[in-house]
A and B are shown apart, each in its own frame.
Chain A
Amino acid sequence: MSGAGLQIKGVDKFYGPVDYGVHAVKKLSMTIEKGEIIALLGSSGCGKTSTLRMIAGFEAVSRGQISLAGREVHTFAPVKRNVAMAFEGYSLYPPLTVRENIAFALKASRLPQNVVDEKVAYIAKLLEIEDILGRYPSSISGGQQQRASLGRALIRDADLHLLDEPMGQLEPQLRAVLRGRIKHYIKEKGLTAILVTHDQTEANALADRIAVMEGGVLQQFDTPQMIKERPANLFTGTFVGEPPMNVFDATVTVGADTAVFGLNEGVRLEYAVSDFSPAVLSELGNRKKVSLGIRPYAVRRAEGGVPAKVSVSQWLGDQTHIAADFAGGTMVLVEHDRVRLGLGDTIALKLDPHSLHVFDGETGVAVSHGPELA
């Protein structure tokens, strides 16, 4: 099965001499199954674009192999790889109309004209560009150009679809419905797709699995849910999720009956040792300093909790975001109802042991998630 998808094996990318130049991608290995939607997620300079360009064939691999649909492709010219692309810089052909641009992608397939027309009409409806099919790229908005470029990629039958920041320019009012339609289309056609993005919201919405990159290194490659529930380190924990995870420096003291996290300003979070597995207790006991993380939606307001002073409560229509002064920092909570709290109100916060993420204070590597070892 995996042979039919994309395999990246031990790939390095150096700009300049191998081993001495800028090491943009470091020993990257990942396997993408046929029919999967993958997001390569990271901020600028993380190595995601270099990876994309090596898969597409615009950039040579310095070391390692890339195979697609059972063929080793990393030495092939881009056109020989059977990869469809929608790139930010891979712009539409200016002398062609939007319709011609999209249909052009089908040229090699030598389909009868009526089939081409049908396919173009279908994808144009899906992307809401039916009324601009006769226009030239220079006369349409950035969002429309992006949709036309997506259409040109998605209409093709290819072993892999590479979509670079595919929705960054899209009108916000169209985003949710287009995400749904595109995901449905890719799944229905059984396409294999990699989207490259800096936007964790986009990655979460579309991808079956997310590859988080930073400093040229693959940090974690897992489902959106697993990345949220079991982030591999502090970087992925705080990068994925909006609002971001709350993080506080803490000391740990494991006693006979209790495990106590000591935060700034004398805040003590005391748990029974039975809240954690023996392995977690032993790992915690070995550490003096940790970073304690908790997701905004997991923070509960409950009697007997640690008092915190509300600094802001913002209702956004379907969620309330609350920030409160806590342990010398800010604790952010998300609630799905309207919450009426004012500046200076005191709330009591409970951090349930099963919602705690503990990271090593030095390396940031995850130690435990809830009661289990990371």
Chain B
Amino acid sequence: MTTLQLENIVKRYKNHTVLDNLSLDVKDGETLVLFGPSGAGKTVLLRLVAGVIDPEEGRILIGGADMTDVDAEHRGIGMAFQNFALFPHMDAFENIATPLEAKRSSADAIKAGVHRVAKLLKIDHVLTHQPKALSNGQKQRTALARALAGSPPLLLLDDPLRNVDAKLRFEMRLELPRVLAAQGATVVYVTQDYKEAMALGDRIAVISDGRIRQIGTPEDIYNAPADIDIARLFGDPTINLLDVTPNAEADGVSVLLSDVRIALPGIPANAAGKACVLGLRPETLRFVPAGTPGAIPVTVEAETPLNEKTVTLALTVRSREILVSRPAGTPGPASGSAHIAVDGANAFLFDKETGALIARHGSHTGTQGEAA
């Protein structure tokens, strides 16, 4: 294990600033996920840490030592990429052994090292296979095993599950934490899949346009997204976003949905009258019987089941679209008129102009995700 610190990193290609004064602290033994759209600068960041490219400005410290000018092979880093990048003329054993060979380990140590990681990744039965004889899943496991073989204190994984199918991706997502824990490395993991980010990250750094937009635990980010863009990136189905202009109330503000008033406790009164966006996570909305106090009338447009959830597209009386998600098998309307309940304490309010989350007063923190 080790630590990684990036201090005020600037990286430019010609006139284009890819990383803009970026600083990041990765703790000892932590798995930090770099999450963001393609072109955000995630891979460039990883390559800078690896030492494949150099920053224009800033420092890179590994285990407290300045590595900015140290060659890639002396940084003590293991890497795996989305395209596997196995050596085609070597069998799986030889591929996995390369970092151990580079360290000039003894033949016995190499054998023991390869078998240790091969067992961990469940590929000990295909070690004599050439890459072309391996399935996609086995190739990807071999590439991971190679990254782990030298027991590097710092492991960089660049979207390693990108090119495997959904089932394998799911399987590996469940398996990786155990593999990484056994390895005891500090990990920087790049992905564009929010589920992978939440499942694997001790913390997630949301990166776009070369800057870190928010960094925190999965809870921090899911329950208090710093802005609308981040709120949209986490969650499936995507968060509902509705333009609203809040009204002042004795405690906070309220908004109207299908002409029904929804109180948003704890929102500062100065949000009243401002152009805002109401954020409602689909799983926090519930279908309720007509006549339930505060129930919002809607019309059901379509029901689309989604991985043990049932997603309903509904329209408010003002024809605004709302997605509602509930556990599969629980009752709900498939068509026609219906009513939904919105718990204002679980709603987000964003400033429409800046996109920023409008924070609540301390005592009114929502209970996103904890809701039954």
> Could you list which residues of chain A lie within 8 angstroms of chain B, going by C-beta atoms?
172-177, 179-181, 183-184, 187, 199, 201, 204-206, 224, 242-244, 296-297, 311-312, 314-319, 321, 323, 330, 332, 334, 336-338, 343
Interchain CB contact (< 8 A) of B281 among A242, A312, A318, A337: A318
| Cβ–Cβ contact A318 & B174, under 8 A | no
- Can you list 25 A-B contacts with CB-CB less than 8 angstroms, sorted by A residue number? A174-B238, A175-B237, A177-B238, A177-B323, A179-B302, A179-B304, A180-B313, A181-B302, A224-B305, A242-B166, A242-B170, A243-B170, A243-B307, A296-B308, A297-B327, A311-B175, A315-B198, A317-B218, A317-B234, A317-B281, A318-B283, A318-B309, A336-B327, A337-B370, A338-B369
* Contacts of B141-190 to chain A: CB distance below 8 A: 166-167, 170, 173-175, 177-178, 181
The closest CB in chain B to the CB of A242 belongs to: B307
Q: Counting chain B CB atoms within 10 Å of each CB, which of A177, A183, A199, A318 scores highest?
A: A318
With A184-B301, A184-B302 as given contacts, are A314 and B234 in contact (CB-CB < 8 Å)? no
The closest CB in chain B to the CB of A239 belongs to: B167
| B interface secondary structure, majority | mixed
Tell yes or no: B328 within 8 A of A by CB.
yes
Tell yes or no: B199 within 8 A of A by CB.
yes
A315, B235: Cα distance in complex, Å: 11
Residues of chain A with a CB closer than 8 A to B219's CB: 315
Q: For the complex formed, measure the closest distance between the CB of B308 and the CB atoms of chain A, giving whole angstroms.
A: 5
| Cβ–Cβ contact B304 & A176, under 8 A | yes
| Cβ–Cβ contact B309 & A332, under 8 A | no
Instruction: Write the B314-333 contact mask toward A (1 if CB under 8 angstroms, else 0).
Output: 00000001010101110000
Tell yes or no: B75 within 8 A of A by CB.
no
Q: For the complex formed, measure the closest distance between the CB of B183 and the CB atoms of chain A, giving whole angstroms.
A: 14
Interchain CB contact (< 8 A) of A176 among B170, B195, B234, B323: B323
The closest CB in chain A to the CB of B235 belongs to: A317
* Contacts of B176-219 to chain A: CB distance below 8 A: 177-178, 181, 195, 198-200, 218-219
With A176-B238, A181-B313, A318-B325 as given contacts, are A204 and B174 in contact (CB-CB < 8 Å)? no
Q: Which 5 A-B pairs have the closest CB atoms?
A: A180-B313, A176-B237, A314-B199, A318-B283, A205-B304
Task: Tell me the total A-B contact number using a CB cutoff of 8 A.
Answer: 128
A341, B175: Cα distance in complex, Å: 16
| Cβ–Cβ contact A316 & B311, under 8 A | no
* Contacts of B215-272 to chain A: CB distance below 8 A: 218-219, 222, 232-238
Interchain CB contact (< 8 A) of B237 among A177, A296, A336: A177
Residues of chain A with a CB closer than 8 A to B305's CB: 204-205, 224
| Cβ–Cβ contact A176 & B166, under 8 A | no
Q: For the complex formed, measure the closest distance between the CB of A319 and the CB atoms of chain B, giving whole angstroms.
A: 7
| Cβ–Cβ contact B369 & A317, under 8 A | yes
| Cβ–Cβ contact B308 & A297, under 8 A | yes
A187, B199: Cα distance in complex, Å: 37
Tell yes or no: B102 within 8 A of A by CB.
no
| Cβ–Cβ contact B198 & A173, under 8 A | no
A319, B327: Cα distance in complex, Å: 9
A242, B234: Cα distance in complex, Å: 19
Residues of chain B with a CB closer than 8 A to A199's CB: 166
Instruction: Write the B72-95 contact mask toward A (1 if CB under 8 angstroms, else 0).
Output: 000000000000000000000000
A110, B365: Cα distance in complex, Å: 59
Residues of chain A with a CB closer than 8 A to B303's CB: 183
| Cβ–Cβ contact A206 & B304, under 8 A | yes
| Cβ–Cβ contact A311 & B178, under 8 A | yes
A64, B22: Cα distance in complex, Å: 64
| Cβ–Cβ contact B313 & A177, under 8 A | yes
| Cβ–Cβ contact B233 & A173, under 8 A | yes
Q: For the complex formed, measure the closest distance between the CB of B36 and the CB atoms of chain A, giving whole angstroms.
A: 13
Q: For the complex formed, measure the closest distance between the CB of A347 and the CB atoms of chain B, giving whole angstroms.
A: 15
Q: For the complex formed, measure the closest distance between the CB of A247 and the CB atoms of chain B, giving whole angstroms.
A: 13
| Cβ–Cβ contact B327 & A183, under 8 A | no
Residues of chain A with a CB closer than 8 A to B233's CB: 173
Q: Counting chain A CB atoms within 10 Å of each CB, which of B173, B234, B308, B369 scores highest?
A: B308
A172, B181: Cα distance in complex, Å: 30
| Cβ–Cβ contact B238 & A338, under 8 A | no
Tell yes or no: B306 within 8 A of A by CB.
yes
The closest CB in chain A to the CB of B372 belongs to: A337
With A173-B233, A199-B166 as given contacts, are A318 and B178 in contact (CB-CB < 8 Å)? no
| Cβ–Cβ contact B238 & A173, under 8 A | yes
Interchain CB contact (< 8 A) of A172 among B236, B283, B321, B329: B236
A181, B282: Cα distance in complex, Å: 16
Residues of chain A with a CB closer than 8 A to B282's CB: 176, 318
Residues of chain B with a CB closer than 8 A to A181's CB: 301-302, 313, 321
Residues of chain A with a CB closer than 8 A to B175's CB: 311-312, 323
Residues of chain A with a CB closer than 8 A to B313's CB: 176-177, 179-181, 183-184
Residues of chain B with a CB closer than 8 A to A224's CB: 305
Residues of chain B with a CB closer than 8 A to A173's CB: 232-233, 238
The closest CB in chain A to the CB of B37 belongs to: A171
Q: For the complex formed, measure the closest distance between the CB of A245 and the CB atoms of chain B, giving whole angstroms.
A: 11
Residues of chain A with a CB closer than 8 A to B177's CB: 311-312, 314, 343
Interchain CB contact (< 8 A) of A343 among B166, B167, B181: B181
Q: For the complex formed, measure the closest distance between the CB of B124 and the CB atoms of chain A, giving whole angstroms.
A: 16
Interchain CB contact (< 8 A) of A315 among B167, B218, B232: B218
Residues of chain B with a CB closer than 8 A to A244's CB: 167, 170
A342, B215: Cα distance in complex, Å: 23
A179, B234: Cα distance in complex, Å: 18
| Cβ–Cβ contact A180 & B301, under 8 A | yes
A199, B235: Cα distance in complex, Å: 19
A319, B369: Cα distance in complex, Å: 9
A367, B166: Cα distance in complex, Å: 28
Residues of chain A with a CB closer than 8 A to B327's CB: 297, 336
| Cβ–Cβ contact B306 & A204, under 8 A | yes
A224, B306: Cα distance in complex, Å: 11
Interchain CB contact (< 8 A) of A314 among B198, B308, B309, B321: B198
Interchain CB contact (< 8 A) of B307 among A180, A201, A330: A201
